[in-house]
Amino acid sequence: MRWLQIARKDFDDSRRERQLYYLLGLLGLVGLGIGYVVGDNSSSSMAASEVLPLFLLNVFGFIAPIVALTISQSDIVGKRATGELSVLLSLPFSRHTIVLGSFLGRIAVLTAVLVPAFVLASVLSTAMGAPLDVALLATTFLLIWTVGVVFTAIALGLSTLTRSTSIAAGGSFGIFLLFVFQLWSVIPTGIRYLLGGLSMPSGPKPEWAAAFIQLSPFTGIRNLAHPIAPELLRNFPLALGSVGESVPWYQEPVFAGFVVLAWIVLPLAIGYWRFQTTDL
Amino acid sequence: MAAIETNGLHKRYGGDILALDGIDLHVEEGEVFGFLGPNGAGKSTTINILLDFVRPTEGSATVLGMDAQADSQSIRQRTGVLPEGYQVYDRLTGRQHVQFVIDSKDVTADPDALLERVGIPEAGDRTAGGYSKGMKQRLTLAMALVGQPDLLILDEPSTGLDPAGAREIREIVTEEADRGATVFFSSHILEQVEAVCDRVGILRAGELVAVDSIEGLREAAGDGATLRVELATVTDNAIEIVEGVPGVTDVTQRDGGLTVSVGDGSKTAVLSALEDAGHEVTDFRTEETSLEEIFMSYTEGSR
């Protein structure tokens, strides 16, 4: 249970550095804002129970990855830079305990700042007369939380991989550009441009390009959850393409499940592999 | 059994910086071993390899009979470490610091008793952000003592301490050794290890240039002791007489007296020989080769 001690310390660090409180305040305000807007329009045509979940999904689909990247990219590399890692590793903690514990600690921070925001939004909008669909709201939370967990894994993997705090910071900005700014969707076009002898690709998109685009974390999560809440996910933010009537193999929920799992496991595994072979 | 054993330890950083150049170290169980050398000689690199913070380029190390890399976690379970340049957590109290170590080692210990032992009982409820340098160092020592470790690795433990504090650390080291623990501690000041160490190892530019007891080092350093004899009048005859005394290795005339390098046991022989020959000895004193000189001769000299 040593990873639990690391996880608790990691969470407490966030509290002691006030980071947790700033995020609670900031995300709480966003939650209240959403709740107010939804509640304020509850008597108009927007008076449907999926308005609040849709609103939360779109706003937090954007905020959750940014929060996850911000709080996680500096976690391990920062401890390495300050020498804190040497202290932890002079105690009977193994390096994988540090990585796993930090991952769980960061997820705890993420959860602790997301839950109040969702609660505030729901309570305020309901108090102002908007309808509440608890099941749909819970599904929305789970989706946003999964987005956060994936980006926590990516950022923490990066933080474990490198010894330079600036590479970790720059890299997480790159991750932001790639997935939130959706540069990912341009990559197949870029490859086709290069393969086609530096001329703009024309004609229908080949299957590999379509499949590649479906490998982004947001798209993977959308494809995974689509059968559960199709009406909610029709407009899942930051997911590429759309899910049609008959889904191709790369949009199958099982395949998407592996994609999402890979985005969590691979960054951590690569980061850990590098971490355990290098000097502190 | 050896508490620490290294074989041909090499460490190269980034291809061209050689930090360690073949360290063969053998520290017996229960021994207090001083690891000496100027800053940058490779002391911390060696300690970092023992703790698996750093991997050797060549060679191997065992600690408490276990492989430093494969069994690192078990080694650290039984080892108390005072890391170099440790940064405390500003917002945690002294007690919380010690408790964290207790939890990590899964042992039972009283944090307050440990803080008391290192001389900072008042630190229990205070957050470490407001500690003086010396208090931080004492807190770190308290953390290293948790769970009565079989091995204590102390990297420059006297940093930031006043002479009284440094003495208290030496007392604790002695107590720990009496309990049966092996103590391995590094310093760049020989005087700090002199009083407590059974043996010292001197490191220079990544090489272990000497391993011996303090007395052994003194002897090996050659000159042994120097005798200064003041004479009423210095004559060539006096010099000849002194040179004829067994054990004398060198005689120089300076300021109306003689400076005589002698081996053990012949200092009084020098004085009686002079007096027997009718020379009037007005004053004499012996000067032991200072530890500092020995240390310098190893770390800077042409040895």
pLDDT tens for each residue of chain A, 280 residues long: 789 999 999 999 898 888 999 999 999 999 999 999 998 887 776 558 888 999 999 999 999 999 999 999 999 999 998 888 988 999 999 999 999 999 999 999 999 999 999 999 999 999 998 888 999 999 999 999 999 999 999 999 999 999 999 999 999 999 999 998 889 988 988 888 888 888 887 778 888 888 998 999 999 999 999 888 888 888 777 888 788 777 889 889 999 999 999 999 999 999 999 999 898 8
Is B86 in contact with A83 (Cβ distance < 8 A)? yes
Contact B193, B154 (CB under 8 A): no
One domain for residues A170 and A247: no
Residues A148 and A195 in one domain: no
Specify whether A86 is located in the same domain as A191: no
Write down which residue in A164, A181, A198 finishes a domain. Answer: A181
Number of domains in chain B: 2
Q: Are residues A79 and A134 in the same domain?
A: yes
Query: In this structure, is residue A44 part of a structural domain?
Result: yes
- H helix or E strand, kind and range, residue B243: helix B236-243
Q: Are residues A174 and A203 in the same domain?
A: no
Say what the pLDDT of residue B303 is: 39
Q: Is residue A136 part of a domain?
A: yes
Whether residues B75 and B191 fall in one domain: yes
Q: Give yes or no: residues B285 and B208 share one domain.
A: no
Is there a single domain that holds both residue B282 and residue B155?
Answer: no
* Cα–Cα distance, A107 to A8 (Å, whole number): 11
Return the SS3 of A44: coil
Predicted confidence (pLDDT) per residue in B93-145, tens digit: 999 999 999 999 999 999 999 999 999 999 999 999 889 888 999 999 999 99
Single residue among B174, B191, B219 that ends a domain in this structure: B219
Residues B196 and B77 in one domain: yes
The whole domain housing B251 covers 222-299
Same domain, A173 and A54: yes
Range of the domain at A223: 187-256
Strand partners, B53: none
Instruction: Enter the DSSP assignment of A185.
Output: G
Residue type, B177: A
Tokens of B258: 């003689």
Distance CA A55, CA A51 (A): 6
**What are the tokens at A4?**
């639990």
Claim to verify: residue A209 and residue A142 sit in the same structural domain:
no
Q: How confident is the model at residue B258 (pLDDT cuts 50, 70, 90)?
A: confident
Measured CA distances, A117 to A15, A22, A71, A129, A141 (Å): 17, 13, 17, 19, 10
| Residues B199, B72 within the same domain | yes
**B194 and B255 part of one domain:** no
A221 and A174, same domain (yes or no): no
Answer whether B104 sits within 8 Å of A280, measured CB to CB: no
Whether A10 is in a domain gets the answer no
Same domain, yes or no: B98 and B183? yes
Contacts of B252 (CB under 8 A, 6+ apart): B258, B259
Q: What is the pLDDT of residues B148-171, one digit of tens each?
A: 999 999 998 888 788 888 888 889
Residue bearing tokens 């604790």: B172
The maximal CA–CA distance of chain A, rounded, in angstroms, is: 62
Residue B179 has pLDDT above 60, yes or no: yes
* Amino acid at site A41: N
Q: Please, what's the largest Cα pairwise distance for chain B?
A: 76
Q: Indicate which CATH number applies to the domain containing B266.
A: 3.30.70.100
- Helix, strand, coil percentages in chain B from 3-state DSSP, rounded to 5: 35, 30, 35
Domain identity same for B149 and B247: no
User: CB atoms < 10 A from the CB of B174, how many?
Assistant: 14
Q: What whole-number distance in Å separates Cα of residue A149 and Cα of residue A69?
A: 10
From the CB of residue A246, how many other CB atoms can be counted at a distance below 10 Å?
Answer: 6
Last residue of a domain, one of B200, B219, B238: B219
Q: Are residues A37 and A176 in the same domain?
A: yes
As a whole number of angstroms, the distance between CA A54 and CA A44 comes to 16
Which of B219, B251, B270 delimits the end of a domain?
Answer: B219
> Is there a single domain that holds both residue A124 and residue A202?
no
User: Checking DSSP bridges between strand B79-82 and strand B225-231, what pairing results, if any?
Assistant: unpaired
C-alpha closest to that of B17 among B43, B42, B47, B46: B42
**Mean pLDDT, range B261-274, rounded to an integer:** 76
Q: Do A58 and A118 reside in the same domain of the chain?
A: yes
Residues B144, B132, single domain; the answer is yes
Report whether pLDDT(B289) > 70: no
Cross-chain Cβ contact A90/B51 below 8 Å: yes
Asked if residue A2 belongs to a domain, the reply is no
Order of all β-strands in the sheet with B257-262: B248-254, B257-262, B225-231, B281-288
Nearest to A92 among B53, B73, B100 (CB): B73
Higher pLDDT, B51 or B159: B51
Tell me the residues of chain A between 13 and 32 that have a Cβ less than 8 Å away from chain B: 16-17
Q: In this structure, is residue A26 part of a structural domain?
A: yes
Q: Which residue of chain B has the CA closest to A86?
A: B53
CB contact under 8 A, A94 and B85: no
What's residue A82's pLDDT?
Answer: 85
**Interchain CB contact of A1 with B (< 8 Å):** no
Overall average pLDDT of the B227-235 stretch: 83
Mean per-residue pLDDT, B219-234 = 73
Residue A111 domain flag: yes
Tell me the three state secondary structure of residue A28. Answer: helix
Specify the amino acid at residue A124: L
Query: Count of CB atoms within 10 A of residue B195's CB?
Result: 14
What integer pLDDT is reported at residue A35 of this predicted model? 94
**Interchain CB contacts (distance < 8 Å): A and B:** 53
pLDDT of residue A83: 83
Q: Say which CATH number the domain at B207 has.
A: 3.40.50.300
Q: Is position A224 within any domain?
A: yes
Residue A13 counted as domain residue: no
> What's the CA gap between A222 and A216, in Å, rounded?
10
φ, ψ for residue A72, nearest 5 deg: -105, -25
Answer yes or no: do B238 and B203 share one domain.
Answer: no
Span B53-63, average pLDDT: 94
Chain B hits for A17, Cβ within 8 Å: 91
Q: Looking at A181, A211, A240, which one is the last position of a domain?
A: A181
Identify the pLDDT of residue B293: 67
Phi and psi at residue B90, in whole multiples of 5°?
Answer: -55, -35
Cα torsion A114, A118, A119, A121: sign: positive
A91/B105 CB distance under 8 A? yes
pLDDT of residue B302: 43
SS3 B233: coil
| Amino acid (one-letter) located at A174 | G
Residues A86 and A175 in one domain: yes
Instruction: Specify whether the CB–CB gap between A39 and A124 falls below 8 A.
Output: yes
Nearest CB to B87 within list A16, A83, A89: A83
Count of the separate structural domains present in chain A = 2
* ipTM value for the complex: 0.84
Indicate whether B228 and B277 sit together in one domain.
yes
Last residue of a domain, one of A181, A206, A234: A181
Report residue A58 CA to chain centroid gap: 13
